[in-house]
A and B are shown apart, each in its own frame.
Chain A
Amino acid sequence: MATLRDIKRRIKSVKNTQQITKAMKMVSAAKLRRAEEEIKAARPYAQKMKEVLGRLVSRQEGFEHPLLKAKEVIEKREIIVFTAERGLCGGFNSNIIKAAESKIRESLEEEVPVSLTLIGRKGISYFSKRGLEVRATYPNPGRVDYPWAARLGETMIDAFTKGEVDEIYMVFAEFRSVLIQRPVVTRLLPVETGGLGAEEGGGDYIFEPSDRGILNELLPKYVNIQIYTAFLESIASEHGARMTAMDSATNNASEMIARLTLHYNRARQAAITKELMDIVNGVEAMRKRSA
């Protein structure tokens, strides 16, 4: 049986752990709030961009643009995987990795070779040992700024237009709520026009320089904003997942402390009873002898 001192030591160590998980939860909560604000701030731009592109594309029957055109034969599929830099965030990283793996498996079954762009240390360390082609790796900067996303967008557009890859997908965690983050797989390039929502003709517009000219300008920006929002979602999800994980860790620690304290008190009581019995026995024995 554990001695009193052993139990006391365990309680202390669990308490220490609890302090850490509590602090981590609080830090994640603060970061999550910031990430949510950034998502909200980006929404009008992303929304409007989608709307405008939808309107322009639907006006243009048979319009061909390198970023819109699906290749007839897919010879290479690029998958961008957004993971976190660190663990301790529940199933966040493994869910993303699982989703990415199933996309990879699907591609290989179609006999389409896959290359990867990995963001975040967790994804990098997992996939770099899997014998897959890794085109690029980036550490997860933790906080995204738009220029970062735009640079990645440029790299992707470049690879796509040069024909190095024929399709580009993104795998990231979509932020639903603090409790729910869903891994999603979306196509980045060629740009999906189906989801843009075609609008009615919109009457007579003046176009400067021309509707095609505007589309040329906007399509790359649309790719950028998609990467940017995927990134924001992924970061918010990470903090949400970590917050939830740390919250339940803190609760578990509380439970464990309660259980250990009960043990401790029982053991203490048993020890006292035993001592008392010893004393009483001793006194009884002495009394008998003197009698």
Chain B
Amino acid sequence: MDKVHLEVVTPKGIVVSEDVEDLVAPGLVGEFGVLPGHAFMMAALKMGRLSYQKDGRRYSLFVSSGYAEVDQEKAILLVEEAIKAEDIDVGALRAEKGEVEERLRSTRPEDEAYQDLLSRLERLTIMEEIAG
């Protein structure tokens, strides 16, 4: 067995279902890599980049926080949101980011919306990084 079956499952459906050579996922306590023959593992995921290699090419996805289950031949990721890097609309992303930054400047840390804006900004920044 020289491949891992990767499955990315979201409430909107299955985003990726492919046999890959390796993958790197954003674990809650740090990134982890998975190669074929990996030990049984359950891991919590945080928002970030999931990347995998297939036929010698690397692919990236933006994933939100969630859960991963790995065994010797497959890796199943349950995430609330997953977007392939090539499906990220960078123009719209930058526009939204600019708007959030703008609003953040006029919001004080003790305001209710502040935390919300910060987490939106974080999400957008990660997405931009993955798309770029």
Q: Are A52 and B29 in contact (CB under 8 A)?
A: no
Proximity bits, A129-148, B CB within 8 Å = 1, else 0? 00000000000000000100
Residue total for B at the interface (Cβ-Cβ under 8 A): 24
Interchain residue pairs with CB less than 8 A apart (22): A41-B12, A41-B13, A41-B14, A44-B9, A46-B11, A48-B78, A52-B78, A56-B42, A146-B81, A202-B40, A203-B40, A204-B40, A205-B42, A207-B42, A207-B43, A208-B28, A209-B29, A211-B42, A213-B28, A217-B28, A217-B65, A221-B78
Which chain A residue shows the least CB distance to B10?
A45
Q: Are B43 and A146 in contact (CB under 8 A)?
A: no
A38 to B11, CA, bound (A): 9
**B residues in contact with A228, CB < 8 Å:** 11
Please pick, from A42, A205, A207, A217, the residue contacting B11 in the complex, using a CB distance under 8 A: A42
A110 nearest CB across to chain B (Å): 34
Judged by a CB distance under 8 angstroms, whether A73 is at the interface is no
**B residues in contact with A150, CB < 8 Å:** 80
Judged by a CB distance under 8 angstroms, whether A18 is at the interface is no
**A residues in contact with B14, CB < 8 Å:** 41, 44
Residues of B within 8 A of A (CB): 9-14, 27-29, 32, 39-44, 65-67, 69, 76, 78, 80-81
**A residues in contact with B28, CB < 8 Å:** 208-209, 213, 217
A153 nearest CB across to chain B (Å): 11
Please pick, from A49, A206, A209, the residue contacting B44 in the complex, using a CB distance under 8 A: A209
Residues of A within 8 A of B (CB): 38, 41-42, 44-46, 48-49, 52, 56, 146, 150, 202-209, 211, 213-214, 217-218, 221, 224-225, 228
**B residues in contact with A203, CB < 8 Å:** 40
**Interface SS of chain B: helix, strand, loop or mixed?**
strand
A207 to B81, CA, bound (A): 22
Q: Are B67 and A208 in contact (CB under 8 A)?
A: no
A71 nearest CB across to chain B (Å): 27
A241 to B41, CA, bound (A): 45
B104 nearest CB across to chain A (Å): 20
A117 to B42, CA, bound (A): 36
Which chain A residue shows the least CB distance to B76?
A48
Q: Which of A48, A208, A214, A218 has the most CB of B within 10 A?
A: A208
**Given known contacts A42-B12, A52-B78, what 17 new A-B pairs fall within 8 Å (CB)?**
A42-B13, A48-B9, A48-B76, A49-B67, A52-B42, A52-B67, A56-B42, A146-B11, A204-B40, A207-B41, A211-B42, A214-B44, A217-B44, A217-B67, A218-B67, A221-B67, A221-B78
A150 to B80, CA, bound (A): 9
Q: Please list the 6 inter-chain residue pairs (A to B) with the smallest Cβ-Cβ separation, ordered nearest first.
A: A41-B13, A208-B43, A206-B41, A217-B44, A146-B11, A205-B40
A234 to B95, CA, bound (A): 35
